[in-house]
Amino acid sequence: MNLDSLKETFLLECEELLENMEKYLLTLEKTPDDSESVHALFRAVHTIKGSAGMFGYQNIVSFTHHVETMLDSLRQGKVAINSDIIAALLSAHDHINLLVDIDTGRKEGAVMNEKVAALGEDILQRLRGYFTKDTNTPSIRDSGQVVAVGKTSTPSNTAGIWHISLRFKPEVLKDGLDPYSFILYLKKIGELLSVYTVTDGLGDLNNTDPELFNLGFEIELQSAACREDILSVFEFLESDADIHIIAPDATEAEWNSLYRNLPEGEARARQIIAAAAAQSRKREILAADFRQVVSTVREKDSSVAENNRTAAKEEAVKKYIRIEAQKLDHLINLVGELVINAATVKQLAERRDDSDLQEAASAMSRLIEELRDNVMNVRMVQIGETFRRFERTVRDFSRELGKEITLEIEGGDTELDKNLIENITDPLMHLVRNAVDHGIEMPAEREATGKPRQATIRLNAYHDTGSIVIEVSDDGRGLNREKILAKALEKGMAQPGHAYSDNEIFQFILEPGFSTADKVTNISGRGVGMDVVRKNIENMRGTVEMETKTGKGTTFRIRLPLTLAIIDGFLVSVGENFYVIPLDMVIECVELSEEELAGGGDFLNLRGEVLPFLRLREFFQENTEDDGKRSVIVVNYGRHKAGLVVDSLLGESQTVIKPLGRLFDKLAGISGATILGSGDVAMILDVPRLIEKAIAKQEASHVR
């Protein structure tokens, strides 16, 4: 068994369970009567405890066991949920996360010490203050779920064959426990002579629920372990199984008591235990055999249940598998290379003027394009989970500052590339923190201006012209133009006497070291956040826009490409160089003469619309021979539109985006590169920046 692989699985499941735990707690704070969230919360903690126990992570087990006991009071309705309890349970969630770092070694430098132990005890004491029920953990020996039969006067290290009778509760799998793991663990304290599977509880397989576990087990264990060691194996099953343990020296009366107490009835119980004893004599049963039995039964149950669902025309349940991100990235790279080579084949076919070869190359290109779209779709994930992470952030920060803020999420089902999801989290965190600290007023101030005490921060995502737009909005005080300009002048970022537009002034807040905060807090005020937002967004080939209204609030609008890997492009040439424009930003192409372009300055009349344009030959300082031919490609990004003047149009092209490296980080108007089928390198144009240049140039010429 690969323990490293199992450990990695435990960490992945633990991260998911902790995320769910936080989500359920925040849900319960808003809707305390949501019983389903209470049960889901209990199951999450119970599963973490059980899984940690399988690996011997005692710090996690010990702490979560106490938390689970108190959650059981919530589940049974003995304690009413309030904000204070939620706050204490959120602290418990954070401590469990810390213990996972410590026990698994996930985070370097995380160790168990007196400070961590004291923190855990403080959290538990705080929780105990809200629960009337005695939260001292009951011993498994007193729980009523385990019956250990044998002479009480026998030594604790009685050697011989122990008999263990297990009847799991049907919901054990839903609680996240694997019955096989407990039985397999017995091998650490002895030799499994027999594991006899009891299938009496299965009933009619045509009507069984595949999510319920209806198997029982009779186990013969050769061991010199003490009773306490055997009991400890099943410590985490106190509410999920009925367990009977018969010591090697048990009397006939004690065996008769076991027969009478088994759910199959006395007569059938005698047959089952006799069969288990017969297997024990053979000493050939292995834990792997048991696992195969369980797997076969589960598979049969699932197959029958699926047939029933199909017959009833119910919606099929989606199945998922986990894929390492590195494997997915490698697959994307291979598809990219395939796209480049397919373009080469297509060019060779056209050069040889072979119709059959051209047809085959076109068919291959279509298949590769379909493959590309499907592979790219695998990398697309919904942004909703990323948004929901900020519910805790807004809750904690607003309480720290004494503000009343609620977070609203829209467009959570909007999908974008997983790499963008990973890179967008940090900028969003800075924007949310900025909104909480700077944007939102204190409740009394809001009331004085006629606003509700409770403010709103809204996260929204949607698709727009081949881009994804993410908005962070608040209904706070808005940006203070005068205050920002004064701070910019103070820091030497602005020139005295210069007439700045509102947009230019607001852009100062994205500069490094800029902050209008009167004092530094734990949340913001050091001027190291908003510049990170702009830098990270620009690294993803995106832009940041701002809208603000004094007294009404502010909206930060982030525009990002849908993917950073492969796009559909439009190939053009300027001089002897090739350039690619993202196809989803292209509106139309217009053929104009140099005379027509020269007559209107830096803008032209496009069917009655003033269109600023940028000459790429001039912008990139092309000095090659000019034949005088011109084409204008009309592009748009967000709410802005401009024309790019090129020498010739070469048509659509699948484009594999290649990064340029640090040496070309500051290269204006270029966002990446690609390799054409001919082997030539083409630069990918940074359309948003070029549109900005075109608009700025037109405005400057208009001023003159």
Annotate 37-63 with three-state secondary structure. Answer: HHHHHHHHHHHHHHHHHHHCCHHHHHH
Do 528 and 627 lie in one domain? The reply is no
> What's the confidence (pLDDT) of residue 287?
42
User: Do strands 681-685 and 216-223 pair parallel, antiparallel, or not at all (unpaired)?
Assistant: unpaired
Residue 156 and residue 219 share a domain? yes
Q: Domain boundary at 546, 561, 576, which?
A: 561
- Whether residues 145 and 292 fall in one domain: yes
Rounded average pLDDT over 537-551 = 85
Rounded distance between C-alpha atoms, residue 644 and residue 687, angstroms = 9
- CB distance 177 to 236 below 8 Å: yes
DSSP per-residue codes, 668-682: TTEEEEEE-TTS-EE
pLDDT (0 to 100) of residue 456? 94
> Which pLDDT value is given to residue 275?
79
Same-domain check for residues 675 and 646: yes
**Average pLDDT of the residues in 562-582:** 84
pLDDT of residue 139: 34
Q: Are 417 and 449 part of one and the same domain?
A: yes
Query: Which pLDDT belongs to residue 312?
Result: 46
CATH code, domain carrying 623: 2.40.50.180
Q: Write the CATH number for 300.
A: 3.30.70.260
Residue 587 resides in a domain? yes
For residue 375, name the pLDDT band (cuts at 50, 70, 90): confident
Asked if residue 316 is part of any domain, the answer here is no
- Give 382 or 144, the one with higher predicted confidence: 382
Highest-scoring range by mean pLDDT, 44-53, 256-265, 662-671: 256-265
Percent of the chain's residues with pLDDT above 70: 82
The residue-averaged pLDDT of 480-484 equals 85
317 found inside a domain: no
The structure tokens 């650490």 sit at 188
The residue out of 262, 282, 311 marking a domain boundary is: 311
Q: Residues 363, 468: one domain?
A: no
217: pLDDT strictly greater than 60: yes
**pLDDT value for 288:** 44
Specify the CATH number for the domain of residue 484.
3.30.565.10
Band of pLDDT at residue 381, cut at 50, 70 and 90: confident
Domain count, the chain: 5
Residues 668 and 689 in one domain: yes
Tell me the pLDDT tens digit for each residue of 603-619. Answer: 787 787 888 888 888 88
Q: How many CB atoms lie within 10 A of CB 30?
A: 11
> What's the longest Cα–Cα distance across the chain?
111
In a domain? residue 477: yes
Does the residue 132 lie in any domain? yes
| Residue 481 shares a structural domain with residue 617 | no
Same domain for 108 and 158, yes or no, is: no
Residues 352, 303 share a domain: no
For tokens 């060779």, the residue is 348
268 and 172 both lie in a single domain: yes
Average pLDDT, the chain: 79
Q: Would you put residue 298 in left (φ > 0), alpha (ψ -120 to 50) or beta?
A: alpha
pLDDT of residue 317: 42
Instruction: Give the per-residue pLDDT at 496.
Output: 85
Q: How many CB atoms lie within 10 A of CB 175?
A: 18
Q: Is residue 436 in some structural domain?
A: yes
- Nearest CA to 655 out of 560, 568, 540 is that of 568
Domain that holds residue 354: 326-379
- pTM, 2 dp: 0.63
CATH number of the domain bearing residue 27: 1.20.120.160
**131 pLDDT more than 80:** no
Q: Has residue 330 got a pLDDT over 50?
A: yes
Q: What is the pLDDT of residue 143?
A: 36
In a domain, 600, yes or no: yes
Given 104, 137, 170, the domain boundary residue is 137
Q: Give residue 94's pLDDT.
A: 93
Domain contains 318: no
Both tokens assigned to 629: 């031919």
Distances (CA, A) of 459 to 385, 397, 534: 12, 16, 18
Query: Are 280 and 358 found together in one domain?
Result: no
Nearest alpha-carbon partner for 228 in 207, 254, 247: 247
Q: Assess contact for 303 and 295: CB atoms under 8 A.
A: no
pLDDT of residue 295 exceeding 60, the answer is no
What are 452's two structure tokens?
Answer: 């509700």
